[in-house]
Structure 1
């Protein structure tokens, strides 16, 4: 194992555990030592058990206090000064920004991954201007910048935030097509539930409120339609779906809430369709990729990131974002498809996952770049 590590940083240890474990394993198999930089949470110890080292970097994912942001920049600088990584791999907004700036000061090669831009680029105003300035400065010396969809790539190129020579486009985070495989499609009978599954944080911008608003329109025509929500609910977060609306939707059995789960496969197996009416400006949602790999038809908003794994009419339907009526119409159309057409859509999803979204594509791109930017030193006798 090399004495010089690869640093991997994101805004939560949970993110690294759930989305970057295959990369950690691949890099360790090749002889790299891995140091994870993220705020400590219950997944930090799991990463250590995986063979990585963990460096606690407290950060507020949505904080905007300038002094605290400067403090985060200093923490990155101090950590990288001590770790001296061969290269720094950044994910999520604040590591992309402050980790890159700190690495720039210390002449450490950087590979950034724009995993999504949230809502800041949708609102305009002074904050968006400031964020663009930060991105332009932070990314100026980055050796490689990966984007997960064409929309984010075009935005950064068109506004001069990056140079084309720095960039490449990945198929999201990819999906393990060996682990997520189709199982027997659930029964399609008029007297049994038709299950729609939503997987994601229960945020307003993820379309949760639209899904609850669409539910009675769907149930009016198809009383056996069942909508299941999986994911983190945080009523203290001002960007979360309205807690009263959620409670009413659950209480009136418009939706069911399954909470947070570590293994989504059993839930996907039971679902007839996975739905994500998000307008959050996603990278490419992993929930849609896992569903596609398991051969599920998809309904997603025709929005940045969410539209990428859906070929409208072939493996699912695209709906208008922030439009519960259109969402309900697509859900009804899905229920009313002949069983053989549903299965054909599921098979088309699987083919798409195999051909475009296999995580090996992502891992190979990282290896190719690291072989140039951070080659392992030759072994010493």
Structure 2
């Protein structure tokens, strides 16, 4: 089995993190992401594991309050002002020029770009410099690929054309979080099959997400932990919850996540506060220590999203032993195995969502059964040990191929 292929649920992975690794020269890797907080949320733990495996990592991103956290973890941070939703071509050209200068100075063996803007700008800059392996990581095929908004439909063919040209070189590899997204990239002819890989997320540190007992006192509580944007299906969830509460009046719903004003589909804060005023609904905003402050209080996880790469929010809930309800869409169906770890419902079907939630609210036995299956799935397929093995193996393959087939920047000096 290729180390970059995610095993199908029900099959055991054929790799384990080795207990000892020989000392080796540090390999320079540049991570190019949009925001420092997003890197901390999804990538910091994986970067730490890669650092242990002799990777010298620099992070390029917009910087805010989380810069110090990244630097304290032992990584170099380079600020680069990136507007992830804007269409300012002159600003993007300036960013690309700054990135070219940085790459010439750092001479990394590999650049790991995450997100649409970093992928496009990072690929062009790295190819201009030359001798750098390029790993473009699609954390999800979100707004541009799946939105029906006019702006997305107009931009999609243009961006696809640009990506085909940018990804044509043999030094460019693509990564998706699930097989469906990989098939989409293949359908758009963005790269060859042998240069397109599936890696199941960024890995979950199971020590931070232990199995938690279900709350014994108080009402059955449903929770969603995500960004507060339209694509996560929040309006439909609130409508479904009203139906659930009509049958189970004591049920509660926790909306956990920040209002993402820079996203084109951000839900206005006024709407979030209006939901918060409804009986049984509480908008908690951004929360640290999700396991202790959310899943220790909640019985059921829900995510009626339009599309996901691989939903970290569900993986966290699953690791804590919580049953899940989600839409039957790419990404969600990788974690929610219908009838084993939770229940899947059709996209946009509010009544089906309400029925599934009611089924779990009304059955403690079913919650226990699905919760145990959810934890087992994460342990076997999505732990930090498993994913760091996959990513380190992919880095090694790309860099070794570069060393054998072309001049590349190589190990840190």
User: TM-score if structure 2 supplies the norm length?
Assistant: 0.85
Q: 1:48-93: per-residue Cα shift (whole Å, max 9, x none)?
A: 1100001011111111222222223223222212221121111111
Q: Structure 1 regions of 5+ residues with no counterpart?
A: none
Farther off after superposition, 56-65 or 132-141: 132-141
Q: 1-side partners of 2:61 and 2:370: how far apart?
A: 39
* Cα deviation digits, residues 154-208 of structure 1 (max 9, x gap): 0111221110010211112221223312121222x7xx31111110110011111
CA distance in 1, matches of 2:411, 2:317: 42
Residue 162 of structure 1 aligns with which residue?
A: 191
Q: What corresponds to 1:346 in structure 2? A: 371
Match of 2:344 in 1: 318
The answer to whether the Cα contact below 8 Å between 1:204 and 1:242 also exists between their aligned partners in 2 is no
1:145 maps to what in 2? 174
What's the counterpart of residue 258 of structure 1?
A: 284
Find the counterpart in structure 1 of residue 162 from structure 2.
134
Is the contact between residue 299 and residue 330 of structure 1 (CA under 8 Å) also seen in structure 2? yes
Counterparts of 1:300-339 in structure 2, within 5 Å, are 300-337=326-363, 339=364
Alignment check: 8 A CA contact 1:230 1:260 kept: yes
Q: Which one scores higher on RCO, CA 8 angstroms, separation ≥ 6?
A: 2
| Partner Cα distance (1:351, 1:195) in 2 | 22
Look up the match of 2:107: 84
Look up the match of 1:275.
302
For residues 242-257 of structure 1, what are the structure 2 equivalents within 5 Å? 242-257=268-283
The CA deviation at 1:290 is 1.0
Deviations 1:131-165 (A, max 9, x none): 21122223223443211011110011122111001
Report the alpha carbon displacement of residue 3 of structure 1 after superposing the two structures with TM.
7.5
Give distance in 1, aligned partners of 2:396 and 2:95: 29
Instruction: Give the distance between the partners of 2:174 and 2:260, measured in 1 at CA.
Output: 31
Corresponding residue number in structure 2 for 1:41: 64
Equivalences, count: 375
- Alpha-carbon distance between aligned partners in 1 of 2:62 and 2:356, rounded to the nearest angstrom: 40
**Would you say the 8 A contact 2:26–2:411 is kept in 1?**
no
Unpaired runs of at least 5, structure 2: 1-23, 401-408
Q: How far did residue 215 of structure 1 move?
A: 2.0
RMSD, aligned α-carbons: 2.2
What's the CA shift string for 1:262-282, capped at 9, x where partnerless?
210111122101101111x32
CA contact (8 A) 2:272 2:283 kept: no
Which TM-score applies when normalising by structure 1? 0.92
Conservation of the 8 A alpha-carbon contact between 1:209 and 1:241: no
1:28 aligns with 2:51: yes
